[in-house]
Every structure is written in structure tokens, then in C-alpha cells.
Amino acid sequence: MRYAILGTGSVGRTIAAKLSELGHEVTVGTRDVAATLARSETDRMGNPPFSQWRAERPAVRLATFADAAANAQAVVCALSGLATLDALRAAGAANLAGKLLIDISNPLDGSAGFPPRLDPVDTDSLGEQIQREFPDAKVVKTLNTMTAAVMVDPGRLAGPSTVFLSGDDADAKKAAAALLGEFGWSGSSIIDLGGIETARGAEMATGFWLRVYVALGTGDFNFHIQRGR
Amino acid sequence: MRYAILGTGSVGRTIAAKLSELGHEVTVGTRDVAATLARSETDRMGNPPFSQWRAERPAVRLATFADAAANAQAVVCALSGLATLDALRAAGAANLAGKLLIDISNPLDGSAGFPPRLDPVDTDSLGEQIQREFPDAKVVKTLNTMTAAVMVDPGRLAGPSTVFLSGDDADAKKAAAALLGEFGWSGSSIIDLGGIETARGAEMATGFWLRVYVALGTGDFNFHIQRGR
């Protein structure tokens, strides 16, 4: 498959690297290619400059949001949630139409300090906002309830854990589930929450996740839905 | 211990029955004792009339919110979240002062249909509202992230799961954790999220829980925090 990964931060890099390792054709999308390549310092999150990361993964291409999306069969939003809609506008509705659009991003606003707040929360979700603004894209919200390292390597945890799907298109959710399988998620570890409006639940999970993260002092955990006997 | 359980619904009954079974002295608090005893039909949630439930548990007493709280060493809020603050006002600040006040309730507003919405959400929490209005009570938010049957019997699930604590008073959290231990929660299954402001995360977990509940078609599950190796 040809994937566009929108976002050059740790989530985008982790997903891009894994997809490339799995043999997919991967283009990372960014707002300004020259500016992304010109950066020479570690970012706020402690990630090395993108050009350094990419030097070790020559198969991964870098392009504008629009070029990356235009050439892809499926698009992954791996941006800071507050930047997601603008990046998708830059990608262009025509370049997203008919395609699987996996949204990993969370609408977290850190302007009032830590922990960041969700906006929207409960009465709407970023997943729904994307689907409303790009009705021809097949939006699937998934993987947003865990840290990047766990997304592509669920076996790193001490036992089974759960990943969730929200979306209106059954075939798109099947394709997303197949991709999760490639990442190492077993069928029984995937819960289909329902339509894209259930992204409200998955995004509120982030508000919960943030407090567990602080309490444990690490993001290396995941929610596991423990069922009845 | 002498416990007051505020609320006559399924959560209140489950907690009251378990505490009584464990040998504690239990008084259920209600707004209007005569009205509660006079009801002869099952409630909206399918629970049998309270008088029928109580006939099988003669050791459990029924009293007004104020009488129940006045005689108790610890108080448990097991009400519909939107009724919690009014019930605590009826219980009276003086009857709560210096006591462990376990809040299991979630501020869910079902007036716009299902799933109900959290109010407040993210920028505040019911746990904090209670602590602000009753500064002399030692509020601990816990058990609100699961269905009643799991609260008092974590072993009913197929494997380990997690219960959370939020509160400002370390001794009150210790007492709450000891009670959780009596319910069957092992020490490693309890995560202390921090101060009462972390109830925002535990309450948002409810917005997540509701979507999982719909997807699974049962509330007989719980969140387990699966950690790294």
C-alpha cells in the first residue's frame, strides 16, 4: 500500500518507520518541506531533527501535505490535534476523497498548562469534525488511546491490551483493522466502538490516559478491556 | 466501621449489601424514608422496590441523608451524579466534617438522550465540586469507572483489572484503599492518580466506558492498565 503520514513528530515517525519496515511505500507529509529539512535541533519533545531521522530511513519520502495525500491510497493523521484540520485542508479534499483516513490525533489544547484540555470534548469530537469537513474521506479513529511505541508494538507490554475503532464505513474499518493486524494487534484485541461519533469516547480516554501517565511516570502502558468470565 | 451509603439504586444497594456482608454497620441514606419504603414497583433501571431488597437484608438500616451521615464514620456517595451535591447538602456539612467521603458518582446528564453527557467535563469534576463545597470532608473519588457488580467483586472478570483513587488526603486514600482490599482489590490493582483534581480523568473515563459498554453489549468489564514489561 502507498501511505501518506501527515506529521513529522514522534507519532508520525513511529508509524512511518513501521509501515516502511513492513514493506509499504511511505511518504511523510509536512507543511513546508524545506523548513522541515532545515531544522537542525531536537524538537520540544526531545525528538532529533527530522532530517537526521530520515537519513536512517532512505525509503521514506518527504512531501507537502498535498503531494503526500495525492499519491497515497491511505492517509494517516499523526499530527497534534489542533493542527489536524488545517493540515487536511492543505492536503486537499480531492486528495482525500474515497480514501481511508486514519485519525490518530487528539484535540489537546495545552495553552492553559498541563494536563492539556480536550476541545471539543463529549459534545463533539475531532474525528467527527474531520468526517463532517471531508465527507468523501473514510475516516477511522484509532490508536489515539496509547503512546506511539505501543501503537506499532503491542507485544512490548506485559500482557494483552486493547485498541479501538470508530468510523462510519465498514470497509474502511476492515482495512484499518488489517493494518492493526500488521502492527501486531490480534483480532480479539480490537474493539469496534461503532460510528465516528464514538470517537468522543476514544478521545475522552485521552483525558483519562493523561492522569494515569502522570501517576505511573511513564506512557508505556495501555488500556486493556478486561471482560467477564 | 459504621458506613452511610447515600443512594438506594443499584450502586448503593450493591455497596451496602457488600459492606453489611463484611460485618460493617450500614445505613442507607435517602431523601424521604417513607417515600422510599412506600415504592412498590421496580425502578427505571429494573431494580426491585427498595423495601423488597431490604427485607432480605434486615441488618441494613434506612434513614434520611442527615441521620445516616450523622451516625457514620465514613460516607459513600452512590447517587446519580446530578443528585449528589443536593444529597450532600441534605446530609449536612457538619455531619460530613472530618470523615472519609467516598464519591462513586458520575455527573452524567441524560436529558439529551443516550449516551449521557458529562457535566462538568475536563475543566472541573464532580469530585472537586464536592471537595470545594465540603472542605472539611475527606473526599476520595474511586470505583466510578466500572459497573456495580465489579466494584465489590473484581474476581468476577476473566483477569486482573484496575481501580483508581483521587483525593487530597493521604490518610483518607489509605482508608479507601483498605476498603477496596476488603472488596477483593489487590494492592497492585489500585492506582493512586493523585489529588482530587485527577477525578477529571476518572470521570472522563466514564465517557469512554459508555462507548465500550454499547460496543460489548454488557457492562461486565473493567479497564485494566496493562503496563510495560
Q: What is the pLDDT of residue A191?
A: 98
Please check the confidence at residue B208 and state whether its pLDDT lies above 90.
yes
Task: Identify whether B205 is part of a domain.
Answer: yes
Q: Is the CB of residue B38 less than 8 Å away from at least one CB of chain A?
A: no
pLDDT digits 0-9 by tens, B6-53: 999 999 999 999 999 999 999 999 999 999 999 999 988 888 999 999
Nearest to B229 among A156, A212, A223 (CB): A156
What's the rounded mean pLDDT across residues B71-98?
97
Please state, in angstroms and rounded to a whole number, the distance separating the CA atoms of residues B166 and B198.
Answer: 6
Domain encompassing residue A55? 2-216
Q: What is the pLDDT of residue A201?
A: 98
Task: Identify whether B101 is part of a domain.
Answer: yes
Q: What is the CATH number of the domain that holds A52?
A: 3.40.50.720
Least confident of B39-53, B65-79, B210-224: B39-53
pLDDT digits 0-9 by tens, A129-186: 999 999 999 999 999 999 999 999 999 999 999 999 999 999 999 999 999 999 999 9
Q: Is the CB of residue A30 less than 8 Å away from at least one CB of chain B?
A: no
Helix (H) or strand (E) holding B24: none
H helices within chain A, ranges in order?
A: 10-21, 33-38, 50-55, 65-71, 81-91, 93-96, 126-133, 148-151, 170-183, 199-216
Nearest to B211 among A121, A201, A212 (CB): A201
Positive or negative torsion for Cα B13, B19, B20, B25: negative
Other Cβ atoms closer than 10 A to A200: 28
Q: Is the CB of residue A109 less than 8 Å away from at least one CB of chain B?
A: no
Task: Identify whether B41 is part of a domain.
Answer: yes
Q: How many residues does chain B have?
A: 229
Please check the confidence at residue A104 and state whether its pLDDT lies above 90.
yes
Chain B nearest-CA residue for A159? B226
Residue A72's pLDDT band (boundaries 50, 70, 90)? very high
Give the type of residue at B152.
V
Task: Identify whether B225 is part of a domain.
Answer: no
Q: How far is A124 from chain B (nearest CA, A)?
A: 11
Nearest to A214 among B194, B207, B215 (CB): B194
Q: Three-class SS of residue B112?
A: coil
Please check the confidence at residue A43 and state whether its pLDDT lies above 90.
no
pTM, two decimal places: 0.97
In total, the C-beta contacts within 8 angstroms joining chain A to chain B are 144
Please check the confidence at residue B194 and state whether its pLDDT lies above 90.
yes
Q: Is the CB of residue A216 less than 8 Å away from at least one CB of chain B?
A: yes
Max alpha carbon distance in chain B (Å)?
Answer: 55
Q: Provide the b/e sequence for B101-134 (b: ≥16 CB within 10 Å).
A: bbbbbbbbeeeeeebbbbeebbebbbbbbbbeeb
B-interface mutation test, from A196, A216, A227, most B Cβ less than 10 A away: A227
Q: Please indicate whether, in this complex, the C-beta atoms of A191 and B215 are within 8 angstroms of each other.
A: yes
Task: Identify whether A144 is part of a domain.
Answer: yes
Nearest to B193 among A123, A212, A221 (CB): A212
Q: What interface predicted TM-score (ipTM) does this complex get? A: 0.97
Chain A residues in contact with B226 (beta carbon < 8 A): 157-161, 221-224
Give how many domains chain A has, as a whole number: 1
What's the rounded mean pLDDT across residues B115-127?
97
Residue A49's pLDDT band (boundaries 50, 70, 90)? very high
- Please state, rounded to an integer, the average pLDDT across all residues of chain A: 97
Please check the confidence at residue B68 and state whether its pLDDT lies above 90.
yes
Q: Is the CB of residue B34 less than 8 Å away from at least one CB of chain A?
A: no
Q: What is the pLDDT of residue A185?
A: 98
Chain B residues in contact with A208 (beta carbon < 8 A): 201-202, 204-205, 208
A-interface mutation test, from B208, B213, B214, B218, most A Cβ less than 10 A away: B208
Q: What is the pLDDT of residue A44?
A: 80
Nearest to B201 among A121, A207, A221 (CB): A207
Chain B residues in contact with A204 (beta carbon < 8 A): 118, 121, 204-205, 207-208
Cis peptide, bond prior to residue B116, ω within 30 of zero: no
